[in-house]
Amino acid sequence: MSTPPLRKDAAQNRQRIIEVARRYVDEGRLLQLNDVARTASIGVATVYRHFPTPEALLETVALPAVEALVRRAEHALAGDDAWTALRDFLAAAIEVLLTDPALPPVFAAATDALEHTGDLKRGLASAFAELLARAHTAGVIDPGVTEADMIPLLCGIAYAANIQSALAPAERAALGLRYLDLLLTGLHRT
């Protein structure tokens, strides 16, 4: 069942709410719906009508980056070289985790506020599992390395790059990619 399109004014209000929330997230501010309403000059009830929880708003803010990462995973899956596909997907994941502050809390959440977010996250997990399995089958990665190993390692890379808070997001992403390269060099089998 699809939802009917929003009236023009409702669509504009929704977009304004998302823009303000995006700014809050980028500035590292706490995403409180009442504060977003005030900053957006929109009634609190209107904000709650569009986004019943801060988590739903955060997931909406993160949605373009999550969808872009899904597209990167699909592109990687279409590639013939198992090592390149895995490496490129992991690099895209690290880069987006380090440049979009909306993503880490969305990926770390135990539950999803929006069904679509859960669908996307499950799709990413499935793509990652397939990429890792292909790398194992091709013999290009240590066969003992599992998904359960890789997730904390990737989180560790993101953490290590993020503690360099004086760096701009793009610089932290470059550092994260360097750390990822070091990790993958250790896991790669030729």
Q: What is the pLDDT of residues 7-37, one digit of tens each?
A: 788 789 999 999 999 999 999 999 999 999 9
Domain hosting residue 32, numbered range:
1-52
Note the pTM of the prediction, 2 decimals: 0.88
Q: What is the pLDDT of residues 75-127, one digit of tens each?
A: 999 999 999 999 999 999 999 999 999 999 999 999 999 999 999 999 999 99
Same domain, yes or no, for 42 and 65?
A: no
pLDDT computed for residue 2 by the predictor: 58
Same domain, yes or no, for 18 and 60?
A: no
Q: How far apart are CA 61 and CA 24, in angstroms?
A: 10
H-helix segments, 109-187: 115-138, 147-162, 169-187
CATH number of 3's domain = 1.10.10
Same domain, yes or no, for 40 and 87?
A: no
Q: What is the pLDDT of residues 42-60, one digit of tens each?
A: 999 999 999 999 999 999 9
CATH number of 151's domain = 1.10.357.10
> 115 CB contacts (<8 Å, ≥6 apart)?
none
Same domain, yes or no, for 26 and 92?
A: no
